Every structure is written in C-alpha cells, then in structure tokens.
Structure 1
C-alpha cells in the first residue's frame, strides 16, 4: 500500500473488499452475540409490557434498561460485522494480498463497537442498582449501590475519553495516518476499569442476598428472588475471564484475533447483566397469567381445625381462632366467649362468624364468590396493595348476660395463615 495514498483513497479500497466467511473464534463470537441479543430482545419487550401495561409503573430503572438495550443492540451489530472483516481471525488466515485492508476495516469496526458498548454498561448496571434500591431505604445498602452507579458512569466517561483522544485524528486508530499515543496507559486503564466493574457486579449480586434474607416472606419466593437478582454474579465472572487478553493491546501480531475474545467476553458480561436486570420486573407478568404460587382450596371446619386442600394436592390443616372455645373458657369459670372474624378483599367481603350460646359454638362461612372456596394467601397476596383487611373482635361475657366487656379489637393487613 503506497504511503502517498490519501485517507479517502485508502477507505475506498477498504470498503471494496468482500466479507470473509467466519470460522473458528469469529464464528463462535457471532453465534454467542446472536443468542444474547435474541434472548435480551425477548426479556426487554416483556419487561416494557409488564411495567408499562400491567403494572403501569414504568420508572427510572426501566428507562435505563431500555436505553442500555438500544446501545447494546448497536454494539452487537458492529461486533458481528467486525467478525466478517477480521475480528476473531488470525493474521495468517486473512487473504494474503489484502490482509492490511482487512486489518484496517476490522480495527475501524472495533472502535465503533467500543463506543455504544461503553455507553450501555453504566445504564444496565444502574438499572439493576436502582431496582434494588427500591427495596430498602437503608443507607448501608444504598451506599454500595450508589457506588455501582457512580463507578460504572466513571468507567464509561473515562473509557470514551481515552478512546477518542488516543489518536489524532481519531481515524488514525485504524488507518495509522496520524499520531497515536502509547498503548500502555490504555492497558492500565483497562485493568482499573475491570476492577471497578468486578466490584460493581458482585455488589449487585450480594446486596440482594443480605437485604432479602431477613425479610418475613415465603422461603421459596425469597430464595428465588435472591437467585434471580444474583444472576448478575455471572457478569463479574465474565469480566474476570477477559483480563488475561488485555496484554494483547501491546502485541501487534494477531491483534484482531485476541480482540475477538475481548469483544465476546465483554458482550457476555453485558448481556447477562441485562438479563438479570429484566427478570425481577417480569414477576407481575407471570403472576397475572399463572396466578399465585399457592393453590386454591376448600376449607372445612371440624373441631376448630381448618383443612385446606387444592385439587389433586395434599391437604394441610391450619389452626384458627374459630376452634371450640368452650374448652378453653368454660362457662362455669369464665362466662360465655364469642369471637367475630371479618375480612374484606378488594370490596369483596367474606365473613366467618362464631356465635356463642352457653357451651356450644356454631360456625357459618360465606364468601360472595360462592362454593365456600377460600384461597390461602401468600406474601404478595397478603400485602396492603390488595386491600386485605381482617378484623377480630373478642367479647368476654362474665356474670349475667347483661354484663359485657369489649376485651380487644385488632384490624389491619394480614395473611390467612396468621389467624392462628
């Protein structure tokens, strides 16, 4: 290639070369990126639908995740295109007469890949952090999460500046027509950025564990939520795996081949992070279509014990305050005891009443849904969001029937299982 060639003449030749047939690492990079973008396209669409249509609560974390996905999509396009022009291919496997042109084209596409990739990282990590911050106001959890936001943003800004000012003009980074600084500072910055990224990834994975483990909720739901949020730990692992390839910033031989490894592990880090960011937001979608994790059943009372059984499933018994109270409070000693338990859910009241008459207690159960089918509520169903209100009124009658004292009243959100 003549040294007297202008930039336009060189690029005309570069853009005229045919695409390669990817093999080996280049083919693996393409397959990995196609799978990642397909999966993340599905989950981001489901997230947007669940948050904007079902929950009607499209928030900051959703906007960050959506913006991060768009940048990730652009980066994926450039990385896949780069694999058709030398990325992930050894120098010896490039066409001999035009190997330099492929190196130029591959280096150009590599830079255009880096820019949207670097921009998308803080958006995805910040989406995870903001999502976790909604679970707690505690500073001991929020401060590490703010580090994730700040550290990821610093990485992005510093990385962009380093990439854009390393060569003058910027096109010299792929054509060699201009001046470029030493690659040693870029290598040092890569190690620094990687350290911050690893800390951020493991922070997003570990904070949910410490936050959720102390909550009073269904153990199965608790650990499934921890597992979903902790999927992000894989992103930290992929970040660590790519570190040994950074040394090839200083090695000219097979530069594009080893850059293929860096691109693949980087996109795996980002793709898994996006997947982890979207999963918790889709719980509303699955709960709408598949209902609560608990089975509905019928309740029958015998001797103060409630038997709950779903169709085809094992039955279980729950102790309730509706047990035969004459045994606990004999009329000869404590007078007559009556208990009333009432509840309403979304303006659809159902009631269970017990009327005392001497030592005999009778129970009448009703629910406007009909059939006496009661649903055993789980933690989400028992939240105040569903408007569950249970009231207990206890009356203790001593002496004669004319003397009556209200001994207690309790109302509030509750779980049916807490009626024990």
Structure 2
C-alpha cells in the first residue's frame, strides 16, 4: 500500500444504518496497477541485461534502482496479502483481526514505499550525473541526492511518530493516541511536495544540456519524450495527494485506502519506467529489426557521433625505391594528434547511458 492512513480509527466499526452492499475496489485497483507493474519489472530486467552484456558496466545508479525494484516487489506482495484480508471492502464487513492485519501491512508498505520512491529518484539523479557536462549542475545533482536521502529519513521518522505507541497504528487502544487528520494531511502534503518538486526537477534537468548533444534529431526527440514521461510521474504524485484528501476517512479506512494506494503505486511504477527507458534504445531497435519494422540505413555524416568509432583506413604495401624512401616516407607520414584522453573518456561515458550500443 503506497499511501493512506487509518491510524486514528476506532475499531471495531459497527454497521451503520442503511449500510452499502459488501463490494470491493480491489478489481479496479488490480486492473490498473498489475499491467503497469508487469511492464515495470520487464523493463527493469531488460535494462540490467544491457548493463551486464557483453561486459559488466554496473554503476551506483544500477545498484539503487535494483534496491528500489526489490522494495517495489515487496510492496506488491504486501498488497496481495492485504487484498486477501479485506482491503478495498467496507470496513464494517471485515473481521476485527483482519482489519488489524491490513493496517499493519499498510504501515509496512508505506515504509517500503518511501524508500523505494526515494531510491528511484536517486538512481535517476546518478544517471544524469554521469552525462551532465557542467560541473555546476553536477554539484546540484549531488546536493539533490543528499537532500532526497535526508528527506526519506525525515519522512520515516514522521511515519513512526504518527502514533504513540507505534502499534496504535494497527491496534488502537484507549491508552494510545495518533495524530489528527489535519496533522496527517500536513505531513502528507510536505512529503508529496518534495516528491513532486524532485520529479519536475529531474524531468526538466536534461534541458540544461540537450542542445549540446551532438546527436541526431531523433535522439533529442526521444530525450524530450523521456522528460515528458517524468512529468507524467509528477502528475501521478499530484493525483495521489488529491485522492488522499478526498477519499481518506476515519469511518471506512479499508474501503478508502485502496484509491490513494493505487495512485501511489502508479507513481512508483512510472518513476521506475522512466529510470529504465534511457538504457533500452538498442534492445528496442533490435526488436524492431527482428520484426522487419526497422532496417539498417547508412547514417549521414551529420548523424554520426563524433565520439563513435570511425572506420580505420586500409593501406596496401608496395615496393619502395630505397633511393627515394626518405622522401616518400616524409609524404606518407601520418600525424595522429594526441587528444586529451581524460576529456574524451568523459564525453564517451556521458553518451554511454542514452546512446550506448552492445
């Protein structure tokens, strides 16, 4: 469960007069989140294959996205367990012991979600750090990574502080107490604002160097589309905040929690997809060629990257007149300028993420 809170609920809940039928919102949630989850895991697997074949080129961005995906899978399993115990149904139809289990699973899911969504953003920032040509913007990304990790620690602390004792979140007692709904709303808006702002920043960050890329126009268009998908994740985050305010109540938490949780999962999946797409160009082109939808074409000189390997010239050995060998050697001498190896290596690495080939 990605978001939503039922910490201040008095349990058990009695049947209200004129209560609604025993229906569930789980089918709606599953119909939306399950396909996106499957696509997310598939794209992540393809990304990691491209990073370990034909040679292993793993970086910290790959490590962080891997941890985020592991946490994402754990949340999905928690969601399945929650469905089995009645989440999505009206609370007054669910046995008290199942309500406690759902609220406990929800609490654990929120903790995992905070770290998962944070690590995805950190992974994107680390990927951008390797391709940005500006030292100033590189420092900005480093500060952003530190800020995101610090924010996650703060949000976890706030999550633990919502109820005293913490177990009052899923097992309310007269001696315990939890934050009021207004206080929970403030905490949610602060965390949501941080995540939305970071999504927008990371989505627009490539615009700081996209004009400097010596790449074909189609590559720049692909990068612009990627930026748009990042903004789509921001929209999902905004929707999560909106539905949390509209749907969350203290009278029917199991029924209300499913919609904010669904949008939280969509936000998380979209962020992972955006983090993986830059690594998928070559596998995607190979797939199109396999089905005959893309053919190899000779690129023009303007479309060729200055950092791509150039064809080596061929030479033919011919008999040499030793009397004129010194003159011929002088005219045949090939001067190869020594470039700044560190700069060239950096530029080559900078193009590797978005446009590398296996």
With the shorter chain as reference, the TM-score category is: 0.7 to 0.9
- Unaligned ranges ≥5, structure 1: 1-21, 297-309, 311-374, 392-404, 414-420
Higher helix share: 2
**1 or 2 for the larger relative contact order (CA 8 Å, sep ≥6)?**
2
Q: Alignment partner of 1:175: what SS?
A: coil
Q: Alignment partner of 2:105: what SS?
A: helix
Paired with 2:268 and 2:246, the residues of 1 have a C-alpha distance of 22
What CA deviation, in whole Å up to 9, does each residue of 1:68-127 have, x standing for no partner?
A: 000011011112322332323333xx42xx543333222111112111111111110111
Paired with 2:133 and 2:299, the residues of 1 have a C-alpha distance of 30
Residue 181 (structure 1) aligned with residue 104 (structure 2)? no
Paired with 1:220 and 1:378, the residues of 2 have a C-alpha distance of 15
Paired with 1:66 and 1:379, the residues of 2 have a C-alpha distance of 37
- Unaligned ranges ≥5, structure 2: 1-21, 315-329, 340-358
Higher strand share: 1
Corresponding residue for 2:250?
252
Residue 65 (structure 1) aligned with residue 65 (structure 2)? yes
Paired with 2:301 and 2:105, the residues of 1 have a C-alpha distance of 52
Q: Alignment partner of 2:131: what SS?
A: coil
**Residues 217, 250 of structure 1: alpha-carbon distance in 2 compared, 3 angstrom cutoff:** closer
Residue 123 (structure 1) aligned with residue 46 (structure 2)? no
Residue 280 (structure 1) aligned with residue 278 (structure 2)? yes
Aligned length: 298
Corresponding residue for 1:172?
168
**Residues 107, 389 of structure 1: alpha-carbon distance in 2 compared, 3 angstrom cutoff:** same
State whether residues 247 and 260 of structure 2, in contact with CA within 8 Å, keep that contact through their aligned partners in structure 1. Answer: no
Structure 1 residue 278: Cα displacement: 0.5
Corresponding residue for 1:52?
52
Paired with 1:39 and 1:228, the residues of 2 have a C-alpha distance of 16
Relative to the length of structure 2, the TM-score reads: 0.72
Paired with 1:228 and 1:55, the residues of 2 have a C-alpha distance of 26
**Residues 382, 390 of structure 1: alpha-carbon distance in 2 compared, 3 angstrom cutoff:** farther
Superposition RMSD on alpha carbons, in Å?
A: 3.4
Corresponding residue for 2:35?
35
Relative to the length of structure 1, the TM-score reads: 0.62
**Residues 231, 140 of structure 1: alpha-carbon distance in 2 compared, 3 angstrom cutoff:** farther
Paired with 2:28 and 2:126, the residues of 1 have a C-alpha distance of 34
**Residues 138, 127 of structure 1: alpha-carbon distance in 2 compared, 3 angstrom cutoff:** same
Q: For 1:241, which of 232, 239, 242 is the aligned residue?
A: 239
Paired with 1:23 and 1:55, the residues of 2 have a C-alpha distance of 52
Structure 1 residue 187: Cα displacement: 2.2
Highest CA radius of gyration, 1 or 2?
A: 1
Structure 1 residue 229: Cα displacement: 4.3
Structure 1 residue 287: Cα displacement: 5.4
Corresponding residue for 1:220?
218
Paired with 1:194 and 1:147, the residues of 2 have a C-alpha distance of 19
Q: Alignment partner of 1:242: what SS?
A: helix
**Residues 143, 200 of structure 1: alpha-carbon distance in 2 compared, 3 angstrom cutoff:** farther
**Residues 294, 251 of structure 1: alpha-carbon distance in 2 compared, 3 angstrom cutoff:** closer
Residue 90 (structure 1) aligned with residue 90 (structure 2)? yes
Structure 1 residue 269: Cα displacement: 0.6
